[in-house]
Structure 1
Amino acid sequence: MTQTTVLVPSSKERLRAGARNGSPALLALVALVGIFILTVVLQPGVLSVPGLTLTLMSSVPLVFAAQAQMIIMSVGDIDLGVGYLVGLVTVIAARLLTEHPVLAVLAVLAVFAVYAVIAAVVQRRGVPSIIVTLGMSFVWLGIGLSLSPTPGGTTPGWLAALSQWRPSWIPAPVLFIVVATLLGWVLTRRAKFGTRIRALGSQAATLEKAGVSLVATRVLAYVLAAVMMVFAGLLLASQTWSGDINAASEFTLMTIAAVILGGGSFSGGRALPIGTTLGAITLGMITVLLSLINLPSSLQSAAQGAIVLAVLAGRIITERLAR
């Protein structure tokens, strides 16, 4: 009779396996749960449908913008114009969409065309995306200030109604967040072109040998990201009922942090929609938590940064243990 030896993986081996299978996104989830628990302790009303609605409402535009940044980062680039572009869309929605809808649509189409040109320049000329998008951020800012020097305007009724929609059975922001995540998943993980987009960030030479146009792939990625940013701007305008070019100025760095918190990489080749969403919600919840503890506004940015750095440090430690 032979004796079978059963090998039980050690705790360190299990940790390594977990890290390889997506622990970066798991760390974002753990951070989110911890912050949510603290928020509930401070404000138990958060557990109600109205409470969750108010708590998560501000995270909705950020989640859409983070999904856009994720697409850009999956090809190995970074968009430093996200914040001002989202703000510009709020201005277009408040200043043009009501009285000049055709002009508003043309303005949005022009944004898509500009992003296609940016992608072509980055791919063909080898200009770093961080330089081009930084320059474009000032262009978006200038256009926004020209259209609306001060915050104001009025969004269309149908757009304002989005933020007022309150289903009784589930918080409305949860549905919008799910839609954003599903869009990111379909575009980057389910669709065939999503594989090409991710390959562009990690195996561009192999992709080119397979006969795939690198220019067309990058253009597609940039345009899809621009579509998600337009959605983010429209949803932000629906919440504020007005246009403000500075309404989302902090989104640029927050979206990058959300992608990294969710398991993304600066080097490209990775697109984790669920992790990105968790990262974005975590950042949004940090803002809510800091407001509940009455932390002075002058210290909130520092505290938010410290929390993000702590989570990122946890990710780095976990990834090193996985090697």
Structure 2
Amino acid sequence: MSVTAPPAPPVAPKPAAAASGPRFWNSTGVVRLRREGAIAPIAAFVVFFVVYVIINPELLTRFQLQTASNLVVPLALVALGQLIVVLVGGIDISIGAIMSLCNVVFATQLEHLPVPVAILLSVGVGLACGLFNGVLVAYAGLPAIAVTLASAFIFGSIAREVLDRPGGGVTKEIYLATSGELVPFVPVSLVWLAVIAVLLWLLLQRTALGRHIYGVGSNMESVRAAGINARLTKLLAFGLAGVVTSFGAMMLASSTVTGDPRSGDPYLLSSIAAVALAGAAFTGGKGSIIGTILAACTLGLIGNLLFFAGVNSYWQYVISALIIVAVVGIPVVWRRVAFFAKGARS
């Protein structure tokens, strides 16, 4: 006589949220943001924005939103250009001079040429400047900091030859198309920034070139072993940085309705500070687009807050420098403290 075992009790299915928790967080990009170091700048921006609104509630008015957007968008675009160079393990000291040159080319050519042609010329100048740096860094093997320091003087001198004082032919129509309002409370400049940021994100995350840029900065030997042309990747990264910087230059010219041969000077230190605040690794291979944009917005709002507080604008340079020192130095100090604390316990 055989005995049949009783049927096993039904197993309750795992909750969908628990089963797919890690997959959910991966799909929302939180893991990617943490890996790229973007969580800290996002949190910093949220905290500072709340504090700023408490101190100056007028920021949420239409005029103040438009003014603040026109202030931070050029910085965000130039910071994105700096980020691309940092991703391949370099740094671009000439990025402010590139911005000045593209700015005056755009503003002056509007006096003689149709707007699309002036835009193409400005983008072409930015691309040429980036490729000039890229050739010397990637193929001549020169240090990026030395090359871009020298080219900063070259590009700056050319900018002053093109336009020796503020001027140009930027019209009200161009201002409205780039720096006005799309709809109430939606500045056009933020829309342009979002479009460029999304296209750049797709390029870096969804194309072979983007993967190569991250790879060259994170592990050069593995990239070479895989048969990837690291020199060409560096060259294209510098060229792409010049193109993105040219968009920042044109946005600045449009918002100020003028070209200025020294317009890019304040953006060099600020772009480096934004990339540092965004958690990018200056050794290459790590950096976030959204983190860089929000870090640039935070720096821009700091400058705006100082302006409304009646503080000399030159203090923004001091604050940017302190941010760079803090972002770079605090992790080092923390690791040393943790090391000594671990040694003391053992």
TM-score between both structures, scaled by the size of structure 2? 0.79
Distance in 1 between the 2:65 and 2:33 partners? 33
Distance in 2 between the 1:231 and 1:19 partners? 27
Structure 1 position 33 matched with structure 2 position 46: yes
Match of 2:134 among 119, 122, 126: 119
CA drift at 1:254? 1.1
CA contact (8 A) 1:27 1:311 kept: no
Q: Which residue of 2 aligns with 1:13?
A: none
Compared CA separation, residues 156 and 45, structure 1 to 2 (3 A):
closer
Compared CA separation, residues 105 and 54, structure 1 to 2 (3 A):
closer
Distance in 1 between the 2:119 and 2:200 partners? 25
Q: Which residue of 1 aligns with 2:143?
A: 128
CA contact (8 A) 1:75 1:200 kept: yes
CA contact (8 A) 1:80 1:137 kept: yes
Q: Which residue of 1 aligns with 2:101?
A: 88
CA drift at 1:314? 5.7
Distance in 2 between the 1:275 and 1:171 partners? 21
CA contact (8 A) 2:103 2:122 kept: no
Q: Which residue of 2 aligns with 1:181?
A: 197
Distance in 2 between the 1:266 and 1:138 partners? 23
- Kindly report the root-mean-square deviation, in angstroms, between the aligned alpha carbons of the 2 structures: 2.9
CA drift at 1:303? 4.0
Distance in 1 between the 2:140 and 2:302 partners? 40
CA drift at 1:278? 1.2
Structure 1 position 50 matched with structure 2 position 63: yes
Q: Which moved more, 1:102-111 or 1:218-227?
A: 102-111
Compared CA separation, residues 293 and 266, structure 1 to 2 (3 A):
same
CA drift at 1:240? 1.1
Distance in 2 between the 1:149 and 1:36 partners? 38
Match of 2:229 among 213, 218, 233: 213
Compared CA separation, residues 104 and 297, structure 1 to 2 (3 A):
closer
Q: Structure 2 counterpart of 1:241, which letter?
A: V
Match of 2:188 among 172, 186, 201: 172
Q: Structure 2 counterpart of 1:207, which letter?
A: V
Considering only CA atoms, is the larger Rg found in Structure 1 or Structure 2?
Answer: 2
CA contact (8 A) 1:24 1:261 kept: no
Distance in 2 between the 1:315 and 1:273 partners? 21
Name the SS for the 1:94 alignment partner: helix
**1:77-118 superposed Cα distances (whole Å, 9 cap, x missing partner):** 111111111111111111123304568745643542342243
Q: Which residue of 2 aligns with 1:256?
A: 272
CA drift at 1:53? 1.9
CA contact (8 A) 2:216 2:230 kept: yes
Structure 1 position 243 matched with structure 2 position 259: yes
**1:241-262 superposed Cα distances (whole Å, 9 cap, x missing partner):** 1110211212111111111111
Q: Which residue of 2 aligns with 1:4?
A: none
Q: Which residue of 2 aligns with 1:231?
A: 247
Structure number with the bigger relative contact order (C-alpha 8 A, sep ≥ 6) is: 1
Name the SS for the 2:38 alignment partner: helix
Distance in 1 between the 2:162 and 2:108 partners? 7
CA contact (8 A) 2:127 2:242 kept: yes
Q: Which residue of 2 aligns with 1:145?
A: 160
Structure 1 position 203 matched with structure 2 position 216: no
Q: Which residue of 2 aligns with 1:3?
A: none
Compared CA separation, residues 20 and 152, structure 1 to 2 (3 A):
closer
Compared CA separation, residues 87 and 135, structure 1 to 2 (3 A):
same
Query: How many corresponding residue pairs?
Result: 307
Name the SS for the 2:186 alignment partner: coil
Name the SS for the 1:296 alignment partner: coil
Q: Which residue of 2 aligns with 1:272?
A: 288
Q: Where does structure 2 lack aligned partners over 5 or more consecutive residues?
A: 1-29, 340-346
Name the SS for the 1:58 alignment partner: helix
Compared CA separation, residues 112 and 301, structure 1 to 2 (3 A):
closer
Q: Which residue of 1 aligns with 2:90?
A: 77
